[in-house]
Amino acid sequence: MERTLVICKPDAVERGLVGEILGRLEARGLRLAAAELRHIDAETAGRHYAEHEGKPFYAALVAFITRSPSLVAVLEGPPETWKLVRSMIGATNPADAPPGTIRGDLALVTTENLVHGSDGPAAAEREIAVFFPALAEGATGAGGPGDLA
- What are the backbone angles phi and psi of residue 69, rounded to the nearest 5°? -60, 150
Nearest approach, Cβ of residue 148 and ligand ATP (Å) = 27
Residue 33 or 88 with smaller CB distance to ligand ATP: 88
On whether the CB atoms of residues 124 and 140 are closer than 8 A, the answer is: yes
- Please, which residue, 119 or 137, has the CB nearer to ligand ATP? 119
Q: Which lies closer to ligand ATP via its Cβ, residue 44 or residue 110?
A: 110
Q: What is the DSSP string of 80-149?
A: THHHHHHHHH--SSGGGSPBTBHHHHH---GGG--EEE-SSHHHHHHHHHHH-GGG-TTTTSSS-TT---
Give me the catalytic one of 39, 48, 52, 116: 116
Question: Catalytic: 116?
Answer: yes
Whole-number minimum distance, CB 110 to ligand ATP, in Å? 5
Give the shortest CB-123-to-ligand ATP separation in angstroms: 9
28: helix, coil or strand?
helix
Chain residues binding ligand ATP by CB under 6 A are: 52, 57, 61, 92, 110-111, 113, 116-117, 119
Number of other residues whose CB lies within 10 A of the CB of residue 117 = 24
Catalytic residues: 116
